[in-house]
Structure 1
Amino acid sequence: MLKALLPLAAATLAVPVLAAPATGDLAAVQSHLKSVQSMTAAFTQTDRNGKTLTGTLTLKKPGKIRFQYQKGVPILIVGDGKSLNFIDYSVRQVQRWPIGNSPLGVLLNPDQDISRFAHVVPGDPRVVSVEAADPKHPEYGRITLVFVRQPAAPAGLMLQGWVALDSQGNRTTIRLSDQRFNAAVGDGTFRWTDPRTSIGRK
């Protein structure tokens, strides 16, 4: 099961040297990302085979995120501010990537200039889709963030979810609901127990 979740972390967003300033919808997305310091939401995750899992997402900038899966799923994904950790308690396995080497870094770094590696995907005018990738390194994969226009949301945009695609075509789709922004979130939310040690650690 852990392997099916890897598209969330396997794509590295390397940054091209030259870039134009963000304008229009891309600037609005940048403003949204900068204004959201924390978020909680329910999520539904669907992999390329159509398998669906649900759970609760908690985010706190900079660098902290937690995917708490539904009861009975022995998987936990936690970004603790430095690393993105994939924990599979059923096999006592932990895999780790630097936050900056994950497409989720787009959501977790409040100072990142997304115009350096992202562009708006044309489509329904009620929706703003932004794809982030390094064209020089397609093996890193890509992520597409999907927003709907909603005046009451931060910068007039509500994050609806994202699609992560790795170089092998493995697609993971995250859909969000019940999004809540900028409420207090304690750092203890992002602690986790290491299954590889008999004592465990936080």
Structure 2
Amino acid sequence: MKRISLALAAAPVLLAVPLAAPLVAQQDQSELSRVNAYIRAVTSMTADFSQTDRNGQTLTGQLTLKQPGKIRFQYQKGVPLLIVGDGKALTMIDYEVRQVQRWPIGNSPLGALLDPNKDLSKYGKVVPTGDPSILSVEARDPKRPEYGTITMIFRRDAASPAGLQLYGWVALDSQNNRTAIRLSNQRYGVPVADSAFRWTDPRPKGRSAGG
């Protein structure tokens, strides 16, 4: 960002800032409302995803989403990981070491994307991108910073729900672990059975979760 010299700032420019601020705020609220409309309009979606972590490692797979709160990250063949959201909690299953971790969806950055009842105007903000075709929104709970931050990236597309196409997101958890997701081949409104969000418990004497 270029630093502006105060010595060169003319008075009319300084006076114009307060006048422009309400307009910018109004535009931002409109954009946040549009993202809310998108989240509420997407009852189901499938997409291919590419996931890159803070170390630069990239994995691919298939994403399945069904509102409210259901999501599945099916990783590429040979990767013994599975992440499933059943509407209440997110579960990460590592089949290689037979480990299962589970936490409430609301405690995850993904909660902003998976809860149609949340109001982004209360905990989201528009992030300037410099590209009018791209809308970026950062969401975090100021009262719960330990839940992390998600920055959702949309392309404007008149043929997509609410005129937006979810391009991907960047999640940052409380330990500063950064994960970037990029989507492609998005399909909206496709039939998705609830059985897609079940998983097999790999732990000794485990059982099939969710039936």
> Which of 201, 204, 207 matches 1:200?
207
More moved, 133-142 vs 98-107: 133-142
How many Å separate the matches in 2 of 1:174 and 1:147? 12
Cα offsets for 1:144-201 (capped at 9, x unmatched): 0000101101011000000011233321000000001111110010010001143531
Deviation by residue 1:108-133 (Cα, 9 ceiling, x = unmatched)? 11221111110111122110000011
- Distance change in 2, residues 1:163/1:49 (3 Å): same
Corresponding residue number in structure 2 for 1:165: 172
Aligned to 1:78: 84
RMSD: 1.6
Deviation at 1:136, TM superposition (A): 4.5
Give the structure, 1 or 2, with the largest relative contact order (CA under 8 Å, sep 6 or more): 1
| Amino acid aligned to 1:44 | S
2:79 pairs with 1:62:
no
Query: Which residue type is aligned with residue 153 of structure 1?
Result: S
Matched, 1:190 2:174: no
Match of 1:95 in 2: 101
Distance of aligned partners of 1:107 and 1:138 in 2 relative to their CA distance in 1, 3 Å threshold: closer
Distance 2:147 2:39 in 1: 22
The percentage of aligned residue pairs carrying the same residue is 65
Pairing of 1:1-202 with structure 2 (within 5 A): 23-123=29-129, 124-198=131-205, 200-202=207-209
Kindly provide the amino acid, as one letter, of the partner of residue 137 in structure 2: V
- Quick one: distance in 2 between partners of 1:167 and 1:84? 16
1:104 Cα deviation after fit: 1.1
Distance in 2 (alpha carbons) for counterparts of 1:139 and 1:187: 30
Deviations 1:13-70 (A, max 9, x none): xxxxxxx9x8321111111111001110000000011100000000001111000000
Distance 1:122 1:77 in 2: 31
Amino acid in structure 1 at the alignment position of 2:95: Y
Asked whether the 8 Å contact 2:112–2:150 carries over to 1, the reply is no
Letter paired with 1:157: L
Q: Is the 8 A contact 2:109 2:172 kept in 1?
A: no
How many angstroms does 1:101 deviate by?
1.2
Identify unmatched segments of 5+ residues in structure 2.
1-25
Cα distance in 2, alignment partners of residues 134 and 57 from structure 1: 25
Letter in 1 for 2:197: F
TM-score (norm 2): 0.82
| Contact 2:59-2:75 at 8 Å conserved across structures | yes
In 2, the alpha carbon distance for the partners of 1:136 and 1:198 equals 39
Task: Answer with 1 or 2: which has the greater Rg.
Answer: 2
- 1:23 is paired with a residue of what secondary structure? helix
Alignment gaps of 5+ in structure 1: 1-19
> Counterpart of 1:163 in 2: which secondary structure?
strand
Segments ≥4 residues shifted beyond 4 Å: none
Q: TM-score, normalised by structure 1?
A: 0.85
